[in-house]
Amino acid sequence: MENFSLDFTVAIPTYNGENRLPKVLERLQSQTGVENIKWEVIVIDNNSSDKTAEVIREYQKSWNHDFPLKYFLERKQGITYARLRAICEAKGQLIGFIDDDILPTSDWVKEAVIFGKAHPHAGAWGGQIHGDFEIDPPEKFARIKSFLAIRERGSQPHLYDPNNLSLPPGAALVFRQEAWQKSIPMELIFKGRLGKLKLAGDDFELLLHLHKAGWEIWYNPAMHTYHQIPQWRLERNYLVTLARGCGLCVCQLRFINTNNWEKPVVFIKIFLGNLRRILHHLSNIRDNIK
C-alpha cells in the first residue's frame, strides 16, 4: 500500500469549465481551519475544448498558498476516467471530489478531514448539498431535487443504505484512498453521462464496490456545499433526460452486489416496482395527464 504524503486532496473533474472553475478555486483559497492539514488541489481536465487549461495556468502563476494547485489532462472522455486519473495523481490519504459547479463552504476541507479521522471504517462520505438556483425552482421541486444532487438529510450523521441504493451523489464526495485502492476495480461499467442516453450510475457504482468490500458509507452534515443550478437545468427536456438516465442504470447497479442466480428475481422485482410506480403516478395525474 502506497504511503500518501498528504492528508487531503481536492480533485475537480471538469469539462469545459473555464467559466465555472474560478468560483470553485476562490472558495478553496478561502478555506479555514486548515493550518495543520497538508493538502492539495488538482484539476482533471476531461478533454475540454474551451480555455480551461489557460484558466488554470493563470491561477498557477499567482498561486500564493501553502497548498499546491495542479493540472492534469485526461483525454478519455467521461467522468469515470477523470476520477480514475485523479486517484492516480492524488497524494492525499483522503480525496474529496468536487464537481466544477459545486461551491464548498469555507470549512469543507476541515470538516471532511475531521470526519475521516473520527470514522476509520468509512470508505466514503458526503455532506449536505444545497441548491443555488438561478431562478426559483418549480412547485413540488422537492420530489425531484435528488436528481440534481441536492442532499439535505438533517443535522445528524448516519450511515447510508447501499442495499436500497440510498447513497450520496458524486458531486461532492470524499473517498478514503485505501478503501478505493483495495475495493474499486480499474474497469468500471458506467463512464459518465455520455451519448444520447446520458446514463447515470458512475458515482453509485464506485460506492457499491466499497460496500461490497465491507466499507461504511456515511452522511456527514457538517460538510456543506452549494450546487449552482442554472435555469436550463430546470427545463422539462433536461429533467426528463436526467431522470431517464438515472432510471436506466438501476438494474445494472443492483446486479453489482447480486449473485448470478438472484439476478432474474432482481430484474422482475425492478420491472414490477417501476410498473407499480407508473400506474400510481398516472392515477394521481389522470385529470392533468398532458
Where on the phi/psi map is residue 140: left (φ > 0), alpha (ψ -120 to 50), or beta? left
Cα distance between residue 207 and residue 193, in whole Å: 17
pLDDT by residue (tens digit) across 226-240?
A: 999 999 999 989 998
Q: Which amino acid is at 37?
A: I
pLDDT band at 134 (very low <50, low <70, confident <90, very high): very high
SS3 64: coil
Model confidence over 212-229: pLDDT tens digits? 999 999 999 999 999 999
The whole-angstrom separation of Cα 217 and Cα 211 is: 7
User: Does position 29 have pLDDT exceeding 90, yes or no?
Assistant: yes
Answer yes or no: are the C-beta atoms of 256 and 266 closer than 8 Å. no
Q: 3-class SS at 24?
A: helix
Residue 2's pLDDT band, with cuts at 50, 70 and 90, is low
Distance CA 41, CA 71 (A): 9
Which of the 8 DSSP states describes residue 153? -
Look over the chain and give the mean of its residue pLDDT values, rounded to a whole number.
92
- H or E stretch including 195? none
Tell me the domain boundaries of the chain.
6-249, 258-290
Note the pTM of the prediction, 2 decimals: 0.90
pLDDT band at 285 (very low <50, low <70, confident <90, very high): confident
Q: What radius of gyration do the chain's Cα atoms show?
A: 19
Lowest mean pLDDT among 92-106, 199-213, 219-233, 273-287: 273-287
Phi, psi of 214 (to 5 degrees): 100, 5
Distance CA 77, CA 29 (A): 28
Superfamily (CATH H level) for 6-249:
Spore Coat Polysaccharide Biosynthesis Protein SpsA; Chain A (3.90.550.10)
DSSP state, residue 232: G
Residue 214: which H helix or E strand, with range?
A: none
Q: What tens digit of pLDDT does each residue of 173-207 get?
A: 999 999 999 999 999 888 878 777 677 889 999 99
**Percent of residues, the chain, with pLDDT higher than 70:** 98
Contact 200, 171 (CB under 8 A): no
More confident residue, 227 or 271: 227
Q: Which residues contact 63 (CB under 8 A, 6 or more apart)?
A: 69
